[in-house]
Structure 1
Amino acid sequence: MYSPTSRLLGVLELLQSRQHISGTELAQRLEIHPRTVRRYIQQLQDMGIPVEAERGIHGSYRLKPGQRVPPLLFTEQETLALSLGLLTIRELQFPVERSTTETTLAKIERVLPAGLVQHARALQAAISMQLGMRSRRIEPTWLMQLSLAVQRCQQVQIEYLSAIQILTERTIDAYGIVFNEGAWYLVGYCYLRMAIRVFRLDRIQAMQLLDSSFERPASIDIIAIVQSALNATDQPNEVEVLLKTTIEHARHIIPPAMGRLEATPHGVLLCRTAVHLEWVAFSLLELDIPVVVLQPAALRELLQAIATKALTMINDPAAPSN
């Protein structure tokens, strides 16, 4: 049985293969009613494909002379989803080279009708993203290999550097991957520890897929496992920051996931808990408003260390002067 989408593509294919084709012939070739042909033609025209109709007893349809449309078609909503998805991947600094997202966007534009090309370019030109986090850099090929291992229930062997700089070799049943607050985590059964463990992908030093497989547990919540592990190994910090702006402006520039906002006589109080203070610090530095860190002391110390490091970059007495 043909689907409406396959028939719509069939209409387009027949239009591209013939200089003229009548509605009757289209209906016969695709085994549909002539009124359905007219509906499909209208859909193609609404998508920006230049289909011309010649009226009359011997009327027919044709593509505008000199026009050929690739067989890959996207609707306006699909164009929106693809463009926003690629822009988000780029701004989140996911393990995909920026040039890859740019060339992918260019390839999508090449197969879009003119009207949708304008929509895609409008999205890219008009939208800026302030995501409030920085992603730790990981090896792109490892993320792909781990994803395949999860899908195939294939064991992996990794060399893992712990937070206290101890290097171990581990065999893992890879259950799933989680992106949380700027960091990537692998959840799996560790044969070294004989238990389910959570591993930061940026701490993996080497990795290879093994020929052996495993049976995935019937019910497992990998997000809950990551959150539980983070809360168990690192005491969450209570973050309180005073934003010197109005509550309306704060709601405009602060994403809901970044924390809870509360209006006060002195500004807007931003409150949340955070295991990793690094991404909180960089998120605050990117805000274009005055900010006062109230707590924790560890966040103030981290910002002081960042500031000291930044000053050494421009105040090196050994650097040659102009």
Structure 2
Amino acid sequence: MARPTARVLALLGLLQAGGQHTVGELAERLGVDERTVRRYAEHLADLGIPIEARRGRYGGYRLARSYKLPPLMLTDDEAIAVMLGLTAGRRSGLLTTEVAAADSAMAKLQRVLPGALANRLGSLLSTTWFTAPSRVGVPPGAPVLLELAEAAHQRRTVTIDYTAWDGRSGQRSLDAYGLVFHAGRWYVTGRDHLRGEVRTFRLDRIAQVRPADGSYDVPSGFDPAEHVLAGIAAVDWKHEVAVVLHTTPDEAKRRLPPTIGILTERSDGVLLKARVERLDGMAQMLAGLGWSFTIDKPDALRAEVAALADRLKAAVASRPFGR
């Protein structure tokens, strides 16, 4: 939502609290000058909202005494879509603010919906269970998210204040190609002017976004989500792994997410190159795929696969078949 529009609605919210409000008081609450407050009041009047103006030294604005906003008129399908959308966003970590913001938004919706529909939605939410666990997200600031989205949409260069994983802070000029949400975190990917290459930045590490000079075009065919996932797969974990999977490229892409590693077609199968922190986890994943495979490196992965095979055989041998 554009800032002027948001402030017009904020003015309406202040007036809804009741009573007479001076222009100076409203200007201070909204962070604008008094002339802008008068312009916002005129805009509300143009929308058909009865604003009463009182002139003079202590003059100001108030809503007409008999005026009340009508209930929010949503169909059952629309109301379900909104409420479940907020619930899903909260559970997935998608929210760009604290979880309390979703709770307060849901409470406001329930207050303005017709009573019967609000009660039915309350019943739906109180009796619904989810099979997937909630994910704790890392929310960025809403202004950072919105300003980067606007810059990416308008192809406008920005300057960001960024803190890297090692605590170093600095400014970067960025051509934002797109925003990506993955595994509870928001990312922006685009051309970093300092490095002269495409980089990915976590939004929760960006303190501020400011307009900068310059515009740009996104390279043809560039996929922000694919770039972010490839970057996550290339994180410098402890072990470098190379395994030939004896399956087809289509099947490998279908079964393995891009964050696992890089897949390359070969005459004898598909080469998986990845970096992992734990080799026992990689051994379990390879066994679970159900394909035959050949380990190129490291030798320690062969040992982990052999140890896993021994444990599985021991588990089977400990209980004879048919008992």
Provide the TM-score with structure 1 as the length reference: 0.47
Provide the TM-score with structure 2 as the length reference: 0.47
